[in-house]
Structure 1
Amino acid sequence: MFPLRVPLLAVMVSMALCQYYDYDYQPGSMLGPSGPNCNQECDCPVNFPSAMYCDSRKLRFVPIVPTGIKYLYLQNNLIEEIKAGVFDNVTDTLRWLVLDQNQITNAKVAKGTIDKLTSLEKLFFSNNNLTEPIIPPSKALDELKMMNNKLSKFPSGLLSDKENLTYINIQHNELTSESISGAFKGPKKLVSLDVSHNKLKKLPVGIPGTLEILYADYNEIDGVGAGYLSKLPVLQSLRISHNKLVDGGLPAGVFNVTSLVELDLSFNKLQSIPEINEQLENLYLQANEINKFDLGSFCKFIGPINFSRLKHLRLDANNITHNSMPHDSSNCLRQASNIMFE
């Protein structure tokens, strides 16, 4: 058993449907008897000796981790603190640390614990009581998840040396636009960033141009800056649903970029359909205040090779019906197999 990397599409599905436990996990009880060097509160299967399973055991502390452990599962416990010394045997070997679903606060994480893990690749710290990110010194870190905490700030510089960091998920926190200013400038390979369910008034800035997925649903965003997407040349999926977007906050052509495949602007206050690029395939505009169907939003010119590649379009819960579509819509939207008005 060894963690496998998955393609972008699988990652997007995983993020949407399995937000909390999408790491490679198989219960220790299914992997055979435990080895002799394991901590007594946990299981270290003999046929997977580099993993220690301490999950769902009502633990109130992190047990001492023996030499040789690379994957440590501590989710679904009652852990409130991490005492000094528990990781001393694995400071340069531990690769995965899973602490989801506990009761850990910043004040109860002793110095010399996580801040000594120099080889950590994945840190899962969701559903705890953190008010500020706890970041290991490891330059190998490639995945960071701190969902459902109480994060109110993400100081600039915490990720300055995390050049291999690929995925960040900090949804369901209390972050503002000011509190994350400059937070994501360090990672040079960032692919996916999820800042949904926070208190942002604008999309995060200073993101590396490698980003392919940006989720900012359920915030207080009322606009998108001109040229914002031009700084993200490979962005494929952008979700800004359940915000406060209005027509005046969207400069002309702000979403007209060739890289986008999916754009979700549903549950906002838009009164018109924003201009999109012909390459966009999925557009979600349901539950806005749209009152007209402007074909120019989809096609500037219509011809043998000039038409929209849009496949799915949602316009339900707006102020228009199917009768609002111009008679020549089929020439522009010739690949649209699903257009919803109700």
Structure 2
Amino acid sequence: MSRLLPHVALLAILIGCALCQYEDYESYYGPSHMLGPSGPNCAPECDCPVNFPSAMYCDGRRLKSIPPIPPGIKYLYLQNNQIHEIKSGAFVNATDLRWLVLDHNRITTNAVEEGAFEKLVSLEKLFFSYNDLTEPVSPLAKTLNELKMIGNKLSKLPLGSLSGLANLTSIHLQENELTSEGISGAFKGLSSLVYLDVSQNRLGLLPAGVPSSLEMLYADHNEISSVPKDYLQQLPALQYLRVSHNKLADSGVPAGVFNVSSLIELDLSFNNLQTIPEVHENLENLYLQVNQISKFDIESFCKVVGPLNYSRLRHLRLDGNNLTRSSVPLEAANCLRQATELTVGATD
């Protein structure tokens, strides 16, 4: 059991992030002014609290370039500045760096000089959101476990840009310009990946070639119109799937495609579905609001109803469809005996 604890803790953290899907880095650290005076080796533009000597706070200083980094710094906060380039020697003394936060700057891919990240051999977290990247920076340290590039101008992830990152567990790519072709094969070999968010992009399909270790996949607000029949069969660990605000229709959803035992939560809201897709009895949360569903088919949840045969659904939302309370058959009470929320109609 003890071997499972680190994995369970990681899953709990990632589920927390999922509940506030666009959580930023601010929960990771405290204000520098609460940590006491700055140490003597710190860059004058920043704070290196003597009570937290491994951190350097340079956030919100109107910086246009990365200041000198003294040896021994493990946590570097450079968010909310005006940095527009990263020189090749910017991190020459930062071989101990674990976390690097570069969110909300003006950095472009072309302004990151070759070799700029090669000294960051111990990097674990790279937060590079809300800049002007058109491609991810590479190569990255093999120790990296979390990568955030939200709100850039990424249209593709070139093959090999994430290769060798066997420790990477979490990737956040929402609010970019990614296409299905542009990310094809990009996640191959990421054997530890459990969380992938590609929401608010231009995907026509769910990402192909994702590793079988994946447990959470978020692809809301894209242009996805179909799901390959065997897609989820290749993801035996997948528990949370969100494909809301897309273009899914019955013709693009093969029979039984979502009927997999691993899924705990499935969000298909704000699509063009006309029928309730068949789901596995293990599913606990199903969101289908604002589709075009006109029939409550009990067989979508229960093929057979009995003492041991029933749906484990707890939350089922069907509001915003062509259904009313009278659309729900009486036998649904026995099939959905564990449901605590069943929302049907506009005002339920």
Shorter-chain TM band: over 0.9
Supply the AA of the counterpart residue of 1:236.
Q
Separation (CA, whole Å) in 2 of partners of 1:32 and 1:212: 41
- The answer to whether the Cα contact below 8 Å between 1:157 and 1:186 also exists between their aligned partners in 2 is no
Return the match for 1:87 from 78, 83, 91. Answer: 91
TM-fit CA distance, 1:160: 1.6
TM-fit CA distance, 1:323: 0.6
Structure 1 residues 81, 23: CA separation in 2 closer, same or farther (over 3 Å shift)? farther
Separation (CA, whole Å) in 2 of partners of 1:72 and 1:105: 20
Separation (CA, whole Å) in 2 of partners of 1:116 and 1:289: 54
Equivalent position of 1:38 in the other structure: 42
Equivalent position of 1:21 in the other structure: 25
Matched, 1:48 2:52: yes
Q: Which moved more, 1:4-13 or 1:292-301?
A: 4-13
Supply the AA of the counterpart residue of 2:42.
C
Supply the AA of the counterpart residue of 1:62.
I
Q: Percent identity?
A: 61
**1:1-342 equivalences in 2 (<5 Å):** 6-17=9-20, 18-21=22-25, 24-90=28-94, 92-341=95-344, 342=346
Q: Deviations over 1:55-80 (max 9, x none)?
A: 01111111111111011000111111
Separation (CA, whole Å) in 1 of partners of 2:267 and 2:190: 25
Separation (CA, whole Å) in 1 of partners of 2:85 and 2:160: 25
Any idea what SS the aligned residue of 1:238 has?
strand
Supply the AA of the counterpart residue of 1:88.
V
Q: Deviations over 1:239-260 (max 9, x none)?
A: 0000000001111110001110
Supply the AA of the counterpart residue of 1:260.
L
Separation (CA, whole Å) in 1 of partners of 2:107 and 2:18: 24
Separation (CA, whole Å) in 2 of partners of 1:14 and 1:257: 24
Separation (CA, whole Å) in 1 of partners of 2:13 and 2:337: 28
Separation (CA, whole Å) in 1 of partners of 2:145 and 2:27: 13
- The answer to whether the Cα contact below 8 Å between 1:64 and 1:85 also exists between their aligned partners in 2 is no
Separation (CA, whole Å) in 2 of partners of 1:281 and 1:245: 21
Please tell me the root mean square deviation across aligned C-alpha atoms, in Å: 1.4
Q: Which moved more, 1:212-221 or 1:111-120?
A: 111-120
- The answer to whether the Cα contact below 8 Å between 1:223 and 1:249 also exists between their aligned partners in 2 is yes
TM-fit CA distance, 1:22: 5.4
Q: Deviations over 1:137-165 (max 9, x none)?
A: 31101000000000011011112200000
Count of aligned pairs: 338
Separation (CA, whole Å) in 2 of partners of 1:272 and 1:95: 48
Q: Deviations over 1:292-314 (max 9, x none)?
A: 00000000110001000000000
Deviating beyond 4 angstroms after TM superposition, the runs of 4 or more aligned structure 1 residues are none
- The answer to whether the Cα contact below 8 Å between 1:85 and 1:113 also exists between their aligned partners in 2 is yes
TM-score (norm 2): 0.94
Separation (CA, whole Å) in 1 of partners of 2:105 and 2:118: 19
Structure 1 residues 41, 22: CA separation in 2 closer, same or farther (over 3 Å shift)? closer
Any idea what SS the aligned residue of 1:29 has?
helix
Q: Which moved more, 1:231-240 or 1:129-138?
A: 129-138
Structure 1 residues 22, 324: CA separation in 2 closer, same or farther (over 3 Å shift)? farther
- The answer to whether the Cα contact below 8 Å between 2:139 and 2:161 also exists between their aligned partners in 1 is no
- The answer to whether the Cα contact below 8 Å between 1:241 and 1:267 also exists between their aligned partners in 2 is yes
Separation (CA, whole Å) in 2 of partners of 1:7 and 1:84: 34
TM-fit CA distance, 1:288: 0.3
Q: Structure 1 unaligned runs (5+)?
A: none
Q: Deviations over 1:149-193 (max 9, x none)?
A: 000110111122000000000000000000000000021110100
Separation (CA, whole Å) in 2 of partners of 1:182 and 1:100: 26
Supply the AA of the counterpart residue of 2:23.
Q
Separation (CA, whole Å) in 1 of partners of 2:147 and 2:38: 29
